[in-house]
């Protein structure tokens, strides 16, 4: 048995699920790595470099509020419900921003993105 097989302990019946999990994780990481520079470029073009520091401060503040709420929801409803619901919210968020940038571009959209 190879060292990798012993370390990960993937059984033949689990190979498809492990493969799908790896593909999902790769897609999430790739999406993040693509979206972050786009977000920064849009913000820099409209607001300038000086204000970008406020974005990072805002993200920290938002996460300090939202992370405990997510933890409470997960404790109450269980991760099997909360994880798919949060993924659906984020997917709708992406579609909503795409539509807003594509069709209407309201004021403050770049800052919200």
Whether residue 77 is predicted with pLDDT greater than 90 in this model: the reply is yes
Instruction: Tell me how far apart the 2 most distant CA atoms of the chain are, in Å.
Output: 59
Mean pLDDT of the chain: 89
The string of DSSP letters for 23-53 reads HHHHHHHHHHHHHHHHHHHHHHHHH-STTHH
Q: What is d(CA 113, CA 108) in angstroms, rounded to the nearest whole number?
A: 9
pLDDT computed for residue 3 by the predictor = 76
Count CB atoms within 10 A of the CB of residue 52.
Answer: 13
Q: What is d(CA 79, CA 66) in angstroms, rounded to the nearest whole number?
A: 16
Quick: pLDDT tens for 13-65: 888 888 898 998 999 899 889 988 988 898 999 999 999 888 889 989 999 99
In this prediction, residues 90-106 reach a mean pLDDT of 92
pLDDT computed for residue 4 by the predictor = 67
24 burial level (CB within 10 Å; 0-12, 13-18, 19+): exposed
Query: Domain spans of the chain?
Result: 12-112
Q: What share of the chain is helix, strand, coil (3-state, %, to 5)?
A: 85, 0, 15
Q: What percent of the chain has pLDDT over 70?
A: 98
pTM recorded for the entire structure: 0.70
pLDDT computed for residue 1 by the predictor = 60
């Amino acid at each position: 048995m190879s060292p990798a097989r012993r370390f990960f302990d993937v059984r033949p019946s689990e190979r498809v699920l492990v493969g799908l999990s790896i593909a999902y994780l790769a897609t999430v990481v790739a999406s993040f790595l693509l979206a972050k520079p786009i977000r920064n470029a849009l913000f820099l073009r409209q607001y300038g470099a000086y204000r970008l520091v406020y974005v990072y401060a805002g993200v920290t503040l938002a996460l300090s509020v939202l992370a405990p709420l997510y933890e409470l929801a997960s404790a109450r409803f269980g991760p099997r419900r909360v994880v798919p619901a949060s993924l659906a919210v984020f997917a709708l968020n992406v579609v909503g921003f795409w539509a807003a940038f594509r069709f209407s571009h309201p004021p403050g959209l770049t800052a919200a993105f």
